[in-house]
Chains A and B, each alone.
Chain A
Amino acid sequence: MKLTDIIGPVMVGPSSSHTAGAVKIGNICRKLLGEPPARAEILLHGSFLTTGKGHGTDRALVAGLLGLVVDDPRIPDSLRLAEAAGLTVSFGSVDLGDDAHPNSVRLNLTGSHGKRLEVVAASIGGGRVRIEQLDGLSANFSGDYPTLIVHNLDQPGHVAEVTSMLQHKSVNIANMQLYRSGRGQDAVMILECDQEVPRSSLQWLEHLEGIRKVTYLSLMEDTDDV
């Protein structure tokens, strides 16, 4: 925890979990999608559903999808800004089960070039968030690090391919997780890194046999749509 987590952050109110955390979830989703979103189906769960309207959670999520940051005074106007930016938004509810964090949301996103992404994320307090699922497979990362997510076939060698690429690019791994839907089926590896992974290396990974999808969260500033 930093001192500016105690005094700070500077944010648009009213709630660090329901507003600032929701903006951050939107931001991370936009970056994971890798292109400006054109359509977003936003399904709210638990406290996000019951108190979201009063906390501006809906507008905060959309603001994040548009690339606005947590202290942008335009957050309350995000639904109007989305229209202008060509982002179609729909809201609904979802029951993610008793084990899901009360402040959770599922987003089904389509990018302006047709990329698709499904994310389940939770706002876990104080503006901190956790990505819980990507495209239906488990995940568990904060968005505080450059994060590489690789979906692959569950077969020997893919972890070695990814980690040796990172070694070659002098990227240190902070945290690493592996999940699979079943033996020999879909698998995902999530690597939180201390340095950014070069674009060209991501493209190289995408073309390897057995790699199904490469998703990357960069912490470099991107320009917003609005």
Chain B
Amino acid sequence: MYDSLEALMTRAQSTGTPVWQLVQADDCREQNITPEASFAEMRGMYDAMRDTLAQYDGKLRSASGLVGGAGEKMQRRRESGRLLSGGFLGLVMESALKISESNACMKRVVAAPTAGSCGVLPAVLLSTQRELELDDAVMVKALYISAGIGGVIACRASLSGAEGGCQAEIGSASAMAAGGLVFLLGGGAAEIANAAALALKNLLGLACDPVAGLVEVPCVKRNVIGAVNAVTAADMALAGIESRVPPDEVIDAMRAVGRAMSASIRETGLGGLAATPTGARVRQKMSM
């Protein structure tokens, strides 16, 4: 697994190999499998993401009763044509809500990179596929790019809220989605890395403060901001706007910020939103 976005992108540029193929080759070495087997595995992940979205049920409620039905509300508003943010972003928001609500309601999801952040990447990728009418094979390649970015973050920092706060989960998912999206829009290696940096930078410092320790509040709606942030980062990168801090340094900064965070805002359910009077009441109700 690559431990540097710069190394990955430089390699792509110097060898003329697409970024997704470098990530795939690395996976084949690691798992000792053929490119075809690796591609089939990744395609299975994409299919599973699509299934989660398709099987969303707006009537479901989570164990605490706090989560459910938001994706359906967003869909109604989008279909009414009255969303200020427009049809595409509306679809991204709706998909992120639906997938992460499904997770909170014990449905089948793809952890990407985690279950708590499982709505970001599919919301961006599935909405883009629909908008641009792309075929599945291209989408799987984008998924490789996202996985490559996630791999670098895992090596240099962390993908776990308990270690790095929400920035490590939603922030990482957003960076992964931004890079994949740039690829789908025709961007090159440098723009992919740049988009990942922009997305992660904008979510640095995000606390993991779930109410009653559950993957519900604020996780479901944080998936929305992660997905929308990925779209804006990709658009900025493709406009030629650069992150002034290089991608690897942004990831290192994320790690440092995670270390500086108090344990109360690293998935313990003790600080932030979890420590509000409302949060305390929910915790009381949910203790076993």
Q: Which residue of B lies closest to A58 (CB)?
A: B288
- Are B109's CB and A10's CB within 8 A? yes
Among B1, B106, B163, point to the contact of A75 (Cβ < 8 A). Answer: B106
Q: Is the CB of B150 within 8 A of A12?
A: no
Contact check: which of B38, B159, B287 meets A50 at CB < 8 Å?
B287
Contact B42 A3 (CB under 8 A): yes
Chain A proximity mask over B83-102: 1 for CB below 8 Å, otherwise 0: 00000000000000000001
* A125 cross-chain contacts in B, Cβ below 8 A: 160, 162-163
Interface residue ranges of B34-65 to A (CB < 8 Å) = 38, 41-42, 44-45, 48, 62-64
Is B151 close to A, CB under 8 A? yes
Interface size on B, residues (CB 8 A): 54
Indicate if the CB atoms of B111 and A11 lie closer than 8 Å: yes
**Which residue of the partner chain A has the closest CB to B28?**
A3
Choose one: A8, A12, A49; the contact of B107 (CB below 8 Å): A12
Q: How many chain-A residues does the 8 Å CB contact rule pick out?
A: 38
Contacts of B63 in A (CB 8 A): 53-56
> Within 8 Å CB of A56, what residues of B?
63, 106
Give A1-30 interface residues, CB cut-off 8 Å to B. 1-4, 6-17, 19-20
Contact assessment for A3 and B151 in the assembled complex, using a CB-CB cutoff below 8 Å: yes
Once the chains bind, are B151 and A6 in contact (CB under 8 Å)?
yes
| C-alpha gap A76/B60 in the complex (Å) | 13
Whole-angstrom distance between the Cβ of A91 and the nearest chain B Cβ: 8
Seed contacts A6-B150, A8-B45; 16 additional CB < 8 Å A-B pairs: A1-B1, A1-B151, A2-B30, A3-B42, A4-B41, A4-B45, A7-B112, A7-B113, A10-B109, A12-B108, A13-B103, A16-B114, A47-B268, A54-B214, A75-B106, A125-B160
Q: 17 A–B contact pairs at CB < 8 A?
A: A2-B31, A3-B26, A7-B110, A10-B111, A11-B109, A12-B108, A12-B109, A13-B103, A13-B109, A15-B215, A50-B287, A52-B288, A53-B286, A54-B62, A55-B215, A58-B288, A73-B108
- B contact residues vs A (CB 8 Å cutoff): 1, 23, 26-27, 30-31, 38, 41-42, 44-45, 48, 62-64, 102-116, 118, 121, 143-144, 146-147, 150-151, 154, 159-160, 162-163, 212-216, 268-269, 283, 286-288
